Amino acid sequence: MSPMQIRKMDDMHVHLRQGDMLHRALSHTAVQCERALVMPNTIPPILTATDLVKYRESIIEALASVESFTPLMTFKIVPGTTPAEIHSLKAHGAIAGKLYPDGVTTNSEGGVTDFKALYPVYKAMQDEGLVLCLHGEMPGAFSLDRETLFLDVLRTIAADFPKLKIVLEHATTADAIKCVSELPDNVAASLTVHHLYLTLDDVIGDRLNPHAFCKPIAKRPEDRDMLVKAATSGNPKFFLGSDSAPHPIPSKECACGAAGVYTAPVLLPALIELFERNNQLERLEAFTSEFGAKFYGLPLNKDTITLTEESWTVPDEYHGVKPFLSGSTLKWKVAADKTTAAVTDARATVRAPRA
Ligand code: DOR
Ligand code: ZN
């Protein structure tokens, strides 16, 4: 079979973390993506222009010399965020702000409870052309309803700020797809790979699988099917944002497991299989490498990535983190050039599967 070439991807939602984890996990994203929108829920969070500049420097420093990768920087919107800080963040290279409702996911403590109180911040973001990225879950609601109940907040902000670009991050429900489809073109949604594969049964239907646990939690089969339909529809409102979120295995396999699925190592191979299964392979490149860039007003990436049809088994772990689809056999493999492959391999500690 001849190799497949596609434009390098934009991952419009990724958690790169800090310190050792950043150093070890970054290659998986940087090999497949030319750019990625880097989430600000670090410890401490990215709140100010100074934080943002420092974090961008640490990401660039963590890149291997062979990797050409641009981190697209974000900041965390908290109750204390001010319009003045928004202008400064923009001047220092931010392209989006991420709003986490209070307590709904990893490192979202101290998040937003009063969405209207931030109207001056949304106004400043609209004026600056910054994108508002929403973690769309209503705090305190029943977990399966959290996203649906948040949609009224999205509708209200979209109506009150018609020129503000808004992304409903990691949409998980048929309700969200319908809502975003019906809203004007300044509103889009990112879709993860794991939510295109999983339903709640993969998390709790048989034995508890903490590695499929994430926020928002995977929903019903009809929701998952609607997400797949949206991703493969060719509608530019829906684009890739992996939400790849590495957590060390002990933080997942414990009594109080962290939310997050580490999809970066399998991103493109898993998407190819999904689009192939749905007979929509010709729409893959737009989903991974065009629609996100167009929504954010960025030029399309110029480089391509090559994949060969060569089956491989996803390792049980990379550097102490269990990747999505570990143990499964995938058909397509990223054909990184020799130097890049060596860097990635050096960072991957592949151990024997756990019993
Ligand atoms: O499952 C998740 N993990 N959802 C998020 O929104 C955050 C992420 C993380 O940072 O681990
Ligand atoms: Zn996320």
107 alpha carbon – ligand 1 mean position (Å): 8
* Total domains present in the chain: 1
Q: How far is CA 113 from CA 146, 287, 341, in A?
A: 14, 32, 45
Is the residue at 41 inside a domain? Answer: yes
Q: In the 8-state DSSP scheme, what is residue 104?
A: S
Residue 246 lies in a domain: yes
Going residue by residue through the chain (355 aa), what tens digit of pLDDT does each one get? Answer: 689 999 999 999 999 999 999 999 999 999 999 999 999 999 999 999 999 999 999 999 999 988 899 999 999 999 999 999 999 999 999 999 999 999 999 898 889 999 999 999 999 999 999 999 999 999 999 999 999 999 999 999 999 999 999 999 999 999 999 999 999 999 999 999 999 999 999 999 999 999 999 999 999 999 999 999 999 999 999 999 999 999 999 999 999 999 999 999 999 999 999 999 999 999 999 999 999 999 999 999 999 999 999 999 999 999 999 999 999 999 999 986 655 555 555 555 443 333 3
Residue 252 is assigned to a structural domain of this protein:
yes
| Residue 99 falls inside a structural domain | yes
Range 131-149 burial, b when 16+ CB lie within 10 A, else e: bbbbbbbbbeeeeeebbbb
Active site residue 206: no
Q: Which ligand lies nearest to the CA atom of residue 137 in the structure?
A: 1
Whichever domain contains 15, its CATH number is: 3.20.20.140
Residue 70, CA distances (Å) to 93, 161, 185, 205 in order: 12, 29, 26, 39
Decide if 34 is inside a domain. yes
68 lies in which domain range? 4-350
Catalytic residue among 11, 223, 243, 337: 243
Residue 241 inside a domain? The answer is: yes
* pTM, two decimal places: 0.95
Tell me, yes or no, whether 355 lies in a domain: no
Amino acid, res. 298:
L
| Pocket lined around ligand 1, Cβ cut-off 6 Å | 15, 41, 105-106, 135, 214-215, 243, 245, 259-260
Ligand 1 mutation target, pool 104, 109, 168, 243, most atoms within 8 A of CB: 243
